[in-house]
Amino acid sequence: MPFRKFVLIPLFIGMLAFILGLFDQYFSAGLSPAKNFGFAFISFQAWAVYFFAGCNIKGGIKSYTNYLTGIVAAISMILFTQNTIDVLGRFASPMSLLLGCLIFLSLERVSVFSLLPPMFISAGMFFGLITYMPGANLMNVSIAIAIYSFLGLFLGFITIYCRTWYEKQYAAKT
């Protein structure tokens, strides 16, 4: 495929990113915490996750399941830390990480949970947002990650679907 035909693929992907940027400016303004700077970065990470999850719907569903599991894992670890800090002191957070990893990473043995990167990415984003975003709480961080990770996975699907269609059309003509 000559570059003049190929360039339509990155242009299309760029247009999807442009639309995401516009969407984020308007949609994130309605999400808590107030005065957030947007959550498009979550979608961009999830978009990439769709590619390494196999570029198919099954991988996308598995990815989303693990994004949600990462949210549950992060909340569980935070609540464990909060409820044991008086007893465990400085060991409360490290103990929550130990137990959380033991429990949630053991889910890898169940097929739908066997794709661990989205779980790590989601939990890591959760810890980052809850720690560094003023006004963040368990609910608004969960909602932001759930919505924007789904959006990113959907954009990954659209990317692959449209690119495959375009490449087949080109191949049929040549």
Structure tokens at 119: 């779980």
> Could you give the count of Cα atoms lying within 13 Å of 116 in the half-sphere of its Cβ?
8
Spacing of C-alpha 29 from chain mean position: 19
Question: Please, what is the angle between helix 138-173 and helix 8-27, to 10°?
Answer: 160
Q: Mind listing the pLDDT tens digit for each residue in 145-158?
A: 999 999 999 999 99
pLDDT of residue 71: 98
pLDDT computed for residue 30 by the predictor:
85
Q: Are 63 and 49 in contact (CB under 8 A)?
A: yes
Neighbours of 93 (CB within 10 A): 17
**pLDDT of 1-52, one tens digit each?**
899 999 999 999 999 999 999 999 999 988 888 778 899 999 999 999 999 9
Say how many C-beta atoms besides its own lie within 10 A of residue 47's C-beta: 24
Q: Each residue of 95-148: pLDDT tens digit?
A: 999 999 999 999 999 999 999 999 999 999 999 999 998 889 999 999 999 999
Per-residue pLDDT, 14: 98
Q: What's 38's DSSP letter? A: -
What is the per-residue pLDDT for 32? 81
